Structure 1
Amino acid sequence: MTTRVAARPWKGAHGRPSVRFPWLALVAAGYAAAQLALAAPHLGLGWDETVYLSQVDPRNPAAYFSAPRSRGISFLAAPVLAVTGSAPVLRTVLALLSAAALYAAYRVWRPLLGPGRTTLAALLFAGLWTTVLYGPQAMPNLWVALSAVAAVGWFLRAHEPGASRAVLLGLGGAVAAATLFRFSDGVWLAAPLLAACGMVPAWRRSAPALAIAGGLAAGGAQWIAEAYVRWGGIGARLHASSATEGGMGLHWAGGDAWRSLNGPLLCRPCAVPLTHPELTLWWLTLPALALTACVVALRTGRTAETVLSAGCAAALSVPYLVLIDYSAPRFFLPVYALLALPVATLAGRTVRAVRPVPARTAVAGVLAALLVVHLTMQYTVLQEMDADARATTDRYQAVAEDLRRLGLHAPCLVTGSHSQPIGYYAGCASADVSGNNRNITEAALLRRAATELTAALAKPPSGPPGYAHAWAAHRLRGTGYTAYLPPPAPAKPPVP
């Protein structure tokens, strides 16, 4: 594998650097506009978002934070929540921040690939329905994706002759960010980068390896400290994480990932048919194009940018393809972000290889038309998934409003089906006696219910939880939920 010297500035006819149009900035601005126009308006907070946000929201009790989660997205949203609890404001800020991060992450690659290929890679990733939908959401996967793009770019630049200390700081910072947003993904990102340091003779330098290791340690410090404080150690937290994920092991989840390409947003259990099979062209061609790009790169002897991007993408896909038994489209955002780079490189090489100029123009036109078709298909899926997400969050809000009409007000407790998001909307604490988010015993819950306004939620056909059989049932019309409220505590006799 060979490294590449950083691209030199383009020269004009008189040998002076030519003025470049800021195409990458235009893509980032378009990405922000797409989020604000298509995804952010009127989109409430999803289940996972309420868990992350409740950790730093001064207006609501913190929901149970399970072992696999990392707190990076909570830290990112904390400054906004310190000022306001408005979901539209949070969405707007995250949309602008994610667009800026998209620009910054792919900008790292411009000296490596040149402005055209870098811009195309950013456009390919920014145009995906998952990228647009999750840009304004308080979810970690997009931020891991952009951190991974920056990390691999900084890694390659760190091995260029005369690389500065700032490049090493960028490498360490990007790995730290990915690890802070999602600890396990940070490990899967760092592993191939460290392996490359040992396997490629030209990359056997201590400084980049130390930067990666330092970033991994810095980004994972909070997760590791919390493992000892709450679970008794790293091993215990990993064991709890496995239990929460349904038992991590050798599970082929490729079929689940395939069925959820165009939704649902969470496929668990994943027994749904593939929706819109006619719109799967991109997902079918992406691995084939990435593999073709690697073959072409190996033949031309310029392999570093292409093969390393594809290798890191493959590593980041491992936990979501072979270690869990469910899937969600957002899990693969880091994979898509990295594979966009070799695909853009392949497109650029294809156009440049065509002779004469009129034929090259025709090929470029065909590729541009295919890009338009691809973006149109992504928009179609985005509309449906955005509507589904809004319907879910609207239902959470409706249940919370019904609970308030039944007299629930802070301090209060919500338990049962979807207690975490509904509790957040109602301004109540949440607790569960069973399931992945179990954090209380029945006896402890009943003691709280005796002194605190409490509601147990259930959805048909299931009845009330065992401890709530004697509680009063209140059907929340139009939501699919039934709320069970305990009888009021007997009034204490007056003190003589």
Structure 2
Amino acid sequence: MAGSAHATLAGFRRPRSPRTSGGTRPLRTAFPLAVVAAAFTLAQLLLVRPGMGLGWDETVYVSQVSPQAPAAFFSAPRARGVSLLVAPVASWSTSTALLRIYLAVLSGLALYLALRAWRGLFPVRVLALAGALFASLWVTLFYGPQAMPNYWVAVGALAALACFLRARADRTDRGALWGLAVSAALMALMRPMDAVWAVLPLLALGLARRHGRTLAVLLAGLAAGSAEWVIEAYADYGGLVRRLSQGSEIQGGLGWHLAVVDQLRSLGGRALCRPCTGDVPHPVVTVWWFVLPLLAVLGLVVAVRARRTTATLLPLACAATAAFPYLFMIGYAAPRFLLPAYALLALPVADALAYLVRAPRRPWRPVVAALLCLGLAAHLAVQLAVLQNTVDGATEAHRAWSRTAGALHRLGVRPPCLLAGDGAIPVAFYTGCSSAATTGHNANSTEEAIIATARRTQVAVLVPGGTRPPGYARAWPSQPLDGQRLYYAVPRGGR
């Protein structure tokens, strides 16, 4: 592939400055990327309903800054980045719709900035197509407006890699160095371990080629973003090693686990596949997953022919390391885990598709272009269908929690209160209560502490129908509640 933009990639020569006469060239290059980002934001608002309610993990992150409920237990693997991200809205408003709109706009802006960082490294048409491919995945649309960290690791990785390449090509590009530091810090602030996995090839390349300043900036960004997580490890978890150990335990024990099939099962819209059983979705739903690496390899072949191998090879390498722990080291799956890999793979895949359109000689070129358009249209239709089913399922689950919270309010369980048992964390957030657990990954209390709390405030325990309540609640009054049974204690003095 020829062109002045591509020529900069061979040998990492400094990208040519855009034409400035009349300001038309920068506008022409930025406009397609802005259109993709705006369409992504609009699609989130239309397809992922702002009133969907908050999911389980979202209630944990939002509760850290929200006045709606006391902060939920914060387990070892989590980081505070999402809570900081939502704080400008969640700290003063309990409106989920407002929070969704804020995150949709912010995620669109982040996608635009991440794609813009690649200008001069790939043609704008390739960048726009890459952004559209990534933004049209159901998992990207679903998690873009959610208070979850994975999308932000993805756009952070995309921007960090571009800034790394630009900084190596031009030692005087201070903007690239700042972009690298900020992007690395964003990733580490959201998920420190994911950030390390995503930039492993950059760290290796920086050491091998002795690019000390670029490597130092990358490490400084990672350190700045993960500093709070490390400090908290010593303050609340017994040290960094202990926090890492607890995180591994919560994730089922990190080690050799073949989770590739689990990830396939999750492609049908399962937000969390744990335990991951059942059938793999229909091939129509999963075929894109098998085509993706083939197109990525083709993108690498195209890059080799165009003598710009590094700028394509690095996204492939970073995508592989970002995906590796979630494909081979944990015993369950969630589609959002692979968002950083999808974002990085979008570039070589888009380059391969652009090559397939241009490569055939006439009269076959229009035929190939038409077939590719049909394939992409079918892919988009499948993604939207999966998205719709996923949104419907999530909305119903969140409404069930809201109905349970309403029933608890009618029974007189109101803040200040404590909720334990099945689904206690999200239901407690919707109710405005604290949550407690004596066993499991979110254990933060003891039976004795719950009994002591029941003497001075309202305590309720949600128990699945047909199962026995915990020993401390067996003598409490109870009644059926939405397929569960509610046991509650009212301190002396009434409800």
State the TM-score bracket (shorter-chain normalisation).
Answer: over 0.9
Cα distance in structure 1, aligned partners of 2:347 and 2:61 = 31
Match of 1:246 among 215, 235, 252: 252
Cα distance in structure 1, aligned partners of 2:26 and 2:204 = 39
The equivalent of 2:41 in structure 1 is: 32
For 2:255, the aligned partner's letter is G
After superposition, give the CA deviation of every residue in 1:132-188 in whole Å (9 maximum; x if it has no partner).
111111000011101010011111111113541111110111011001011111111
1:171 paired to 2:180: yes
1:41-60 superposed matches below 5 A? 41-60=50-69
The equivalent of 1:433 in structure 2 is: 438
After superposition, give the CA deviation of every residue in 1:360-410 in whole Å (9 maximum; x if it has no partner).
344333322222221111001001000011011011101111111111111
1:304 paired to 2:307: no
Q: What SS does structure 1 have at the residue aligned with 2:257?
A: coil
The equivalent of 1:224 in structure 2 is: 230
1:266 paired to 2:275: no
Report deviation, 1:229. Answer: 0.2
Match of 1:64 among 70, 73, 85: 73
Q: 1:9 to 1:446 in 2, by over 3 A?
A: same
For 1:333, the aligned partner's letter is L
The equivalent of 1:20 in structure 2 is: 28
After superposition, give the CA deviation of every residue in 1:187-226 in whole Å (9 maximum; x if it has no partner).
1123221101123x4xx31111001100010000000000
Report deviation, 1:490. Answer: 4.7
Cα distance in structure 2, aligned partners of 1:374 and 1:226 = 43
Report deviation, 1:277. Answer: 2.9
Report deviation, 1:257. Answer: 0.8
Say whether the 8 Å CA contact 2:284–2:382 is kept in structure 1.
Answer: no
After superposition, give the CA deviation of every residue in 1:306-362 in whole Å (9 maximum; x if it has no partner).
110010011111221122111111111111111001101112233333334x54344
What is the TM-score with the length of structure 2 in the denominator? 0.93
Between the two proteins, the alignment pairs up a number of residues equal to 482
1:380 paired to 2:385: yes
The equivalent of 1:480 in structure 2 is: 483
Report deviation, 1:272. Answer: 2.1
For 2:440, the aligned partner's letter is G
Q: What SS does structure 2 have at the residue aligned with 1:195?
A: helix
The equivalent of 1:360 in structure 2 is: 365
For 2:124, the aligned partner's letter is P
The equivalent of 1:463 in structure 2 is: 468
Say whether the 8 Å CA contact 2:267–2:285 is kept in structure 1.
Answer: no
Report deviation, 1:19. Answer: 6.5
After superposition, give the CA deviation of every residue in 1:210-266 in whole Å (9 maximum; x if it has no partner).
011000100000000000000121001011111211222221111211111112111
Deviates more, 1:286-295 or 1:144-153: 286-295
Q: 1:163 to 1:261 in 2, by over 3 A?
A: farther
Gaps of 5+ in 2: 1-8
The equivalent of 2:337 in structure 1 is: 331
Cα distance in structure 1, aligned partners of 2:81 and 2:25 = 40
Deviates more, 1:55-64 or 1:114-123: 55-64
1:437-448 superposed matches below 5 A? 437-448=442-453
The equivalent of 1:86 in structure 2 is: 95
The equivalent of 1:136 in structure 2 is: 145
Say whether the 8 Å CA contact 1:141–1:330 is kept in structure 2.
Answer: yes
Say whether the 8 Å CA contact 1:171–1:212 is kept in structure 2.
Answer: yes
Cα distance in structure 1, aligned partners of 2:493 and 2:222 = 56
Identity in percent:
45
The equivalent of 1:371 in structure 2 is: 376
Q: What SS does structure 1 have at the residue aligned with 2:479?
A: strand
Cα distance in structure 2, aligned partners of 1:272 and 1:6 = 52
1:135-214 superposed matches below 5 A? 135-199=144-208, 201=209, 204-214=210-220
The equivalent of 1:417 in structure 2 is: 422
The equivalent of 1:407 in structure 2 is: 412
1:290 paired to 2:296: yes
The equivalent of 1:398 in structure 2 is: 403
The equivalent of 1:344 in structure 2 is: 350
Cα distance in structure 2, aligned partners of 1:438 and 1:68 = 14
Deviates more, 1:340-349 or 1:70-79: 340-349
Say whether the 8 Å CA contact 1:9–1:17 is kept in structure 2.
Answer: no
Cα distance in structure 2, aligned partners of 1:365 and 1:460 = 55
Say whether the 8 Å CA contact 1:263–1:275 is kept in structure 2.
Answer: no
Cα distance in structure 1, aligned partners of 2:406 and 2:391 = 22
Say whether the 8 Å CA contact 1:40–1:92 is kept in structure 2.
Answer: no
Report deviation, 1:17. Answer: 5.1
1:96 paired to 2:105: yes
Deviates more, 1:291-300 or 1:401-410: 291-300
For 2:118, the aligned partner's letter is W
Cα distance in structure 2, aligned partners of 1:207 and 1:154 = 13
Cα distance in structure 2, aligned partners of 1:484 and 1:17 = 67
Cα distance in structure 2, aligned partners of 1:309 and 1:243 = 30
Say whether the 8 Å CA contact 1:472–1:485 is kept in structure 2.
Answer: yes
Q: 1:262 to 1:9 in 2, by over 3 A?
A: farther
Cα distance in structure 1, aligned partners of 2:127 and 2:286 = 24
Q: 1:360 to 1:4 in 2, by over 3 A?
A: farther
Q: 1:258 to 1:461 in 2, by over 3 A?
A: farther
Q: 1:343 to 1:6 in 2, by over 3 A?
A: farther
Report deviation, 1:26. Answer: 0.9
Report deviation, 1:276. Answer: 3.2
Report deviation, 1:83. Answer: 2.8
Say whether the 8 Å CA contact 1:416–1:457 is kept in structure 2.
Answer: yes
For 1:89, the aligned partner's letter is L
Deviates more, 1:376-385 or 1:184-193: 184-193
The equivalent of 2:3 in structure 1 is: none
Q: 1:37 to 1:490 in 2, by over 3 A?
A: closer
What is the TM-score with the length of structure 1 in the denominator? 0.93
Cα distance in structure 2, aligned partners of 1:34 and 1:61 = 33
Q: What SS does structure 1 have at the residue aligned with 2:485?
A: strand
The equivalent of 1:453 in structure 2 is: 458
Report deviation, 1:299. Answer: 4.8
For 2:224, the aligned partner's letter is A
Q: What SS does structure 2 have at the residue aligned with 1:110?
A: coil
